[in-house]
Amino acid sequence: MSLIELKQVNKRYHNGADCVTALQELNLAVNEGTFLGVMGPSGSGKSTLLSVLGCLTSPSSGKVCVDEIDVYGLSQEKQADFRREYLGFIFQSHNLIPYLNALENVMLPLAVSKLSSAEKRERACNMLKRVGLPDRMLHLPQQLSGGEQERVAIARSLVNNPPLLLADEPTGSLDSATSLQVMNLLSELHQDGQTIIMVTHNRENLQWFDRTIYLRDGMIEKDSAGDARSFSKAV
């Protein structure tokens, strides 16, 4: 069953008289529990695809359905609720709030929920334990290493138990050892049934995905579905 379905999705950016097409007639279906890698050269539309999937940028045309919900048919406020309940974001630059400690950063999505303070804290603590940071909860982001910050970001993205995790180059700014730790963590999550869509430039990450699409000029040039090995050679 497809958790995500994109139909004839186009995204164009206008800058004065200039028009840049980021996504062209894109069709994509992603099953629940998939670890999908999105690759492609710069400007191929990877981040735009993630933004469109993440309900952050509305497509110029086409339809985006997540869990059979036409997300761009929702009002602005409902879209915010959708992001909170269905999506977890992991950004390349972690994007932790610098004045909140690790625990508070993880609790951030829960701040607007109706859970009790104790419940929020318990959930965030559990999530930090799950990403291997039980002893760094009260540290500010600046007191954490890049890898630890990334793990806090992952914990924050998961604290709401979202069905879909979107990661934009989560290992882009990390050294290879730390990248490996982060990928291991994402792989564990995937094995637990988490659906993950991850944008990456790094070919070494291909091994972790069970499906990879390669974008060029806003279109899917290659899709590994069913043939990962030949895909790997092709890219």
Question: Cβ closer to other proteins: 120 or 211?
Answer: 120
For the chain, how long is the longest CA-to-CA vector? 54
Burial of residue 180, with CB atoms counted within 10 A of its CB: 0-12 exposed, 13-18 middle, 19 or more buried: middle
Binding segment toward other proteins, per CB under 8 A, in 142-150, 152-160, 213-221, 226-234: 152-160
- Cα–Cα distance for residue pair 120/50, rounded to 1 Å: 28
What is the rounded CA–CA span in Å between residue 9 and residue 207? 28
- Residue 42's contacts (CB-CB under 8 Å, 6 or more residues apart) are none
Of the candidate residues 14, 18, 68, 76, the single one contacting other proteins (CB under 8 A): 76
Cα dihedral 102, 105, 107, 109, rounded to 10, equals -160
The least CB distance from residue 121 to other proteins, in Å, is 7
Q: Read off the tokens for 172.
A: 């882009």
- Whichever of 2 and 95 has its CB closer to other proteins, that residue is 95
Nearer to other proteins, 116 or 177 (CB): 116
Q: Taking contact as CB under 8 A, which single stretch among the options 14-22, 63-71, 98-106, 226-234 is the one that binds other proteins?
A: 98-106
The residues, ordered by sequence, that sit 6+ positions from 173 with a Cβ below 8 Å of its Cβ are 92, 93, 146
Site string for other proteins, 156-195 (x = CB under 8 A): xx--x-----------------------------------
DSSP code of residue 117: H
Encoded tokens for 101: 């400690």
- Least spacing, CB of residue 234 vs other proteins, in Å: 30
Range 78-97, binding other proteins (CB under 8 A):
80-85, 87, 89, 91-93, 95, 97
Residues 110-129 that bind other proteins (CB under 8 A): 110-112, 117, 120-121, 124
Rounded Cα distance, 2 and 67, in Å = 8
How far apart are the C-alpha atoms of 106 and 90, rounded to whole Å? 12
Task: Pick between residue 34 and residue 57 the one whose CB is nearest to other proteins.
Answer: 57
Closer to other proteins at the Cβ: 99 or 191?
Answer: 99
Count the residues of the shown chain that bind other proteins, applying the rule CB under 8 A: 36
Q: Please report how close the Cβ of residue 231 comes to other proteins at its closest, in angstroms.
A: 29
CB 170 within 8 A of CB 155: no
Binding-site ranges for other proteins (CB under 8 A): 51, 54, 56-57, 76-77, 80-85, 87, 89, 91-93, 95, 97-100, 104, 107-112, 117, 120-121, 124, 156-157, 160
